[in-house]
Structure 1
C-alpha cells in the first residue's frame, strides 16, 4: 500500500482462519476464496449488508499493480519531498491553519496534536481532500486480503471495511485509494472503524468530512502514544508516533519537517 499503517485492529484469530482459504497471486481463485472468507467475516460479526458487499467485490487489478510498484518510498528525503509537493503543502498549510485557527486549536486542546502535523498529513495524503482516490474500497481491501503477499495484514481491514458497510459509513461503491484507504487522511478501514471521531458534532462519523477525518487522525495519534507538548522531530518523544501512521522513514521525516514549517 502507499503507506503502511500498522493495523489498529489486530484480529489474530481471524487472520489465521482466513488463511485456511488458499490465497492467490492472480484472480483465478478469488471467487472461491471470497466464499470461504464470508464464513470468517460472519463469525467476526459482519452482517448482511457487509456480506453482500463482499460477494459483490471484484478482483482489483489496479490495486495489485500499485502494491507491486511503490517506488516513492525508496527516494531520498529531498526527492520524496519534491515529488510529493512539500513546498506547496507548507504554503497552503499555513493559510489553512490561519483561516481555521480555532478549529485546529480545539483539536490540539482535546487531543494534544499540533496543527502542523495534522495539516501535513492531510496535505500529503490527499492534497487537502482534492483527491481521495478512485478505487472501490471494498474491492481493493478484499483483493489485498486474498493476495498472498500480505494477507494477514489486510484481513482485519477487510473485516473493518465490511463492518463500515454494515454501519452505513461506506457503501460498496465508495471510492478511496488503491490500498483501500479512505477519506481526507486515508485511514485503513480497520483503523477507521476503531478510531473514528465525530469532529463536527453532527452525530455521525464521515471520513469524507474534513472535521471528522482530522479529529480521527488526532485521536489515532494520541491513542498511539502522542505526548501533548512534546516535540515530534527525529529523536524527540513524538517522532516515533508518526511511524504508527506510516512505516516509511522518508514519510515520517517529511511530516516532521513540514509540520514544523507549518507551525512556525
Structure 2
C-alpha cells in the first residue's frame, strides 16, 4: 500500500506563494508568511498550532555551519563508517526481514543490500534517529538566510504530517529535518511513504517494514535502474589516459579493458553491456571504482561524494563483496592547505563554492582542469605538488 499523501505532496509544488519564500526579518512575522502558505496547502489547526509554537534552534544553525566530517578522506571516512558492527547487524537484518526486502525488490527494483546500507549509515538500523526538534530545526534553517532554499520546502510537508497525526508535533530527528530510520525529509515521507506492514499507517520511526518499503520507493524515485549494478572495484594501470577518468565520463567496459583496467585480482572485466565512469576518490594511486548510472542515485541521496561512495561500498559489502583495496594514495592536503588551494583556484576564476577546506565536486573539477593545463595526471586529487605549481 503506497502513501495516501503522494497526491498532496505533488500539490505542494504548485501551492507555494512566492512572497512567502523570503528569509530573515522578524521571526514571528516570517512565521505568519509560512502559516499563510501552509493554510493555502490545506494544513489544518493541528499543523498551524504546531507552527505557532515553533521556536528558533541555535544548535541546528550551529550544526549547519560545522560539517567537519566531510573533511575526512574517503579511506578515513569509509573505514569509520563501514564497521564490523554494521556489517554484522546488516547481515542479521537482511535475514530477519528477507521477505520484506524481497517485496521491495519486486515492487521497486532496488536490491536489498542497497536499502540496508542506507539504513545502517543513517541511524544504525533505527538506534540513533536524532534528538533535534524537527519543526524547530526546519523553521530555524529556513528563516536563516544561509541556505533557506534547502529547508523551506520541507516545512509545509512536515506540518501536513503533523496535522494528519502521522508524526507528533514534537517529533525529533536529525538537525537538517530528516525523520525516521533512514532519515527521510518530510516531502519524501509524504511522497514516498509506504505502509509496509499493512496496519494502515506509515511509521518511519518504528516499523521496519515501512522503513524498508519507503526507502526503496524513495531510491526508485531518484532514477534507480532495476537489476543494474552501482559500483565495481577495479585495478588501474600506471599509464591510463587519466583525462578520461571521472564519474560522469561513462564509457563501455570494453574501452576500460582496452586501456588495461581489470578486476581487483587482475582478471579481465566482465562486459555487462553497460557504460561506467572511473572514480578515483583519492587519486590515481588510491582505490578505484567503476561507477554506473545507479551510483548517481547515491549522490541524489547525499551530495557528498565521500558519503555516496561509502554508502555504495557498504552496500557492496553487504552483498558479499570484499573490503576494497586502499592501495597507496599520494598524501593529500590538510584543511588549511585545502583552503589555500581553493583560494588559488577561485583567483583563477573557478567556482569552488565555499572556501571551506572540503574536497567537494566543484573543487575536484577545478583541480582536474588545472592538472590538465599543467600537464599533470588528471585524477582530481589535491597534492602538495599541485599547490606548489599553482
Fold agreement, TM-score > 0.5: yes
Residue 303 of structure 2 is matched in structure 1 by: 247
Name the one with the larger helix percent.
Answer: 1
Residues 15 and 41 in structure 2, CA contact (< 8 A), matched pair in contact too: no
- Compare CA radii of gyration and give the structure with the larger one: 2
Residue 36 of structure 1 is matched in structure 2 by: 33
Q: Secondary structure at the match of 1:14?
A: coil
Q: CA deviation at 1:15?
A: 7.0
TM-score normalised by the chain length of structure 2: 0.61
Residue 71 of structure 1 is matched in structure 2 by: 68
Residue 164 of structure 1 is matched in structure 2 by: 161
Runs of at least 4 residues of structure 1 off by over 3 A? 7-13
Name the one with the larger strand percent.
Answer: 2
Pick 1 or 2: higher relative contact order, CA cutoff 8 A, min separation 6: 1
Residue 217 of structure 1 is matched in structure 2 by: 215
Residues 181 and 189 in structure 1, CA contact (< 8 A), matched pair in contact too: yes
Distance 2:114 2:35 in 1: 38
Task: Show structure 1 runs of 5+ residues with no match.
Answer: 1-6
Gap change, CA 1:150 and 1:9, over 3 Å in 2: farther
Q: 2:174 aligns with which of 159, 172, 177?
A: 177
Q: CA deviation at 1:238?
A: 0.8
Aligned length: 253
Task: Show structure 2 runs of 5+ residues with no match.
Answer: 1-8, 232-289, 321-390
Gap change, CA 1:75 and 1:15, over 3 Å in 2: farther
Structure 1 range deviating more: 28-37 or 194-203: 28-37
Q: CA deviation at 1:12?
A: 6.9
Gap change, CA 1:150 and 1:188, over 3 Å in 2: same
Q: CA deviation at 1:215?
A: 0.8
Distance 2:71 2:209 in 1: 32
Residues 182 and 188 in structure 1, CA contact (< 8 A), matched pair in contact too: yes
Residue 293 of structure 2 is matched in structure 1 by: 237
Residue 3 of structure 1 is matched in structure 2 by: none
Distance 1:97 1:8 in 2: 32
Distance 1:67 1:15 in 2: 26
Residues 57 and 139 in structure 1, CA contact (< 8 A), matched pair in contact too: yes
How do 1:189-228 and structure 2 match up within 5 A? Answer: 189-208=186-205, 209-228=207-226
How do 1:1-264 and structure 2 match up within 5 A? Answer: 11=13, 14=16, 16-20=18-22, 23-24=23-24, 29-208=26-205, 209-233=207-231, 234-264=290-320
Q: CA deviation at 1:100?
A: 2.6
Distance 1:77 1:204 in 2: 39
Distance 1:78 1:18 in 2: 43
Q: Secondary structure at the match of 1:184?
A: coil
Distance 1:61 1:164 in 2: 24
Alignment RMSD (CA, Å): 2.0
Q: CA deviation at 1:14?
A: 2.2
TM-score normalised by the chain length of structure 1: 0.89
